[in-house]
A and B are shown apart, each in its own frame.
Chain A
Amino acid sequence: MNNLNRFLSRYWCPFLLVAWFWSVSGLLVDRTYTVFLRPELGLLLVVALVVMMGFLFAEMRQWGHPRVFGLDGASRMLILLAPLVYMSVARGASLDSRAFQNRWTEMSGTNAVLRAGNEMGAMNSAASSNTAVEATMLDLTYSPARFKNQQIAVIGMIHRDSKIKERFGSDACLLFRFVVSCCAADARPVAILTGGDVPADWADDTWIRAEGRFTLRDDKGQPVPTLEISTATRIPKPRQPYLY
Chain B
Amino acid sequence: MIQPHSHTNPSPGIIPETSKGTTDHTPIVRHNSWGDDPILPETPAPPVGKALLFMLAFFALTIPPLFGDHPGVRAFSLAFVSIVLEALPFMLIGSCVGGLIEVFISCDRLTARLPRRPWAVTCLAAALGLVFPVCECAVVPVVRRLTRKGLPLSAAVAYLLGGPIVNPIVGASTLLAYRFNWTVVCIRLLAGYAIAVTVGLTMDRLFRYRPALLESGDAQKGGCTCGHDHDGTSAEDHHNDEDELHAHEEHDHQSDAHTCCSHEAHTTSSVLSGRLLAALRHATDDFLAVAHYLVIGAAIAALSQTLVERRLFLSFAAFPILPAVSMMVLAILLNLCSEADAFIAASFRGLLPLPAHMAFLLTGPMFDLKLLLMYRTLFTRRAILILSCLILLSVFAVTVVLEVLGIPLR
Partner of A58, one of B81, B281, B292: B281
A197–B311 alpha-carbon span in the complex (Å): 29
Q: Which residues of A contact B343 (CB under 8 A)?
A: 179, 181, 186, 188
Partner of B82, one of A6, A37, A82: A37
Query: Could you say which of A110-118, A165-173, A208-216, A223-231 contacts chain B?
Result: A110-118
Q: Are B244 and A61 in contact (CB under 8 A)?
A: yes
Query: How many residues belonging to B are interface residues under a CB distance threshold of 8 Å?
Result: 91
Task: Give residues of chain B (92-134) contacting chain A, Cβ–Cβ below 8 Å.
Answer: 92-93, 95-96
A123 interface residue, CB < 8 Å from B?
no
A109–B280 alpha-carbon span in the complex (Å): 47
Task: Give residues of chain B (57-102) contacting chain A, Cβ–Cβ below 8 Å.
Answer: 57-58, 60-61, 64-65, 68, 71-86, 88-90, 92-93, 95-96
Partner of A62, one of B232, B244, B306: B244
Partner of A71, one of B50, B82, B340, B341: B50
A135 interface residue, CB < 8 Å from B?
no
Partner of A13, one of B177, B280, B288: B288
Q: Are B234 and A10 in contact (CB under 8 A)?
A: yes
A99–B302 alpha-carbon span in the complex (Å): 11
Q: Are B340 and A96 in contact (CB under 8 A)?
A: no
Encode contact with B along A101-126: 1 for CB under 8 Å, 0 otherwise.
11111101101110110000000000
Q: Which residues of A contact B307 (CB under 8 A)?
A: 102
Chain B contact surface mostly:
helix
A89 interface residue, CB < 8 Å from B?
yes
A160 smallest CB distance to B (angstroms): 16
A62–B296 alpha-carbon span in the complex (Å): 29
B53 interface residue, CB < 8 Å from A?
yes
Q: A62-B241, A68-B21, A88-B64 are in contact. Are A75 and B53 (CB under 8 A)?
A: yes
A203 interface residue, CB < 8 Å from B?
no
A51 interface residue, CB < 8 Å from B?
yes
A188–B343 alpha-carbon span in the complex (Å): 8
Q: Which residue of A has the minimal Cβ distance to B314?
A: A105
Q: Which residue of A has the minimal Cβ distance to B284?
A: A55
Query: Could you say which of B183-191, B197-205, B319-327, B346-354 contacts chain A?
Result: B346-354
B391 interface residue, CB < 8 Å from A?
no
Q: Are B64 and A85 in contact (CB under 8 A)?
A: yes
**Interchain Cβ contacts under 8 Å between A and B, 17 examples:** A48-B92, A51-B89, A55-B280, A55-B283, A61-B244, A61-B246, A83-B84, A83-B85, A85-B65, A86-B76, A95-B78, A109-B350, A111-B350, A112-B349, A183-B85, A184-B78, A184-B79
For the A-B complex with A48-B89, A67-B227, A99-B79 known, give 15 more contacts whose Cβ atoms are closer than 8 Å: A9-B234, A37-B85, A54-B280, A74-B54, A83-B84, A96-B75, A99-B78, A105-B311, A181-B177, A181-B344, A183-B85, A183-B340, A184-B79, A185-B86, A188-B344
B interface residues, Cβ below 8 angstroms from A: 20-21, 45, 47, 50-51, 53-54, 57-58, 60-61, 64-65, 68, 71-86, 88-90, 92-93, 95-96, 173, 177, 179, 227-229, 232, 234-235, 237-238, 241, 243-246, 277, 280-281, 283-284, 287-288, 291-292, 295-296, 298-299, 301-302, 305-311, 314, 334-337, 339-341, 343-344, 347-351
A interface residues, Cβ below 8 angstroms from B: 6, 9-10, 13, 16-17, 24, 27, 33, 35-37, 41, 44-45, 47-48, 51-52, 54-55, 57-59, 61-62, 64-68, 71-72, 74-76, 78-83, 85-90, 93-96, 98-99, 101-106, 108-109, 111-113, 115-116, 179, 181-186, 188
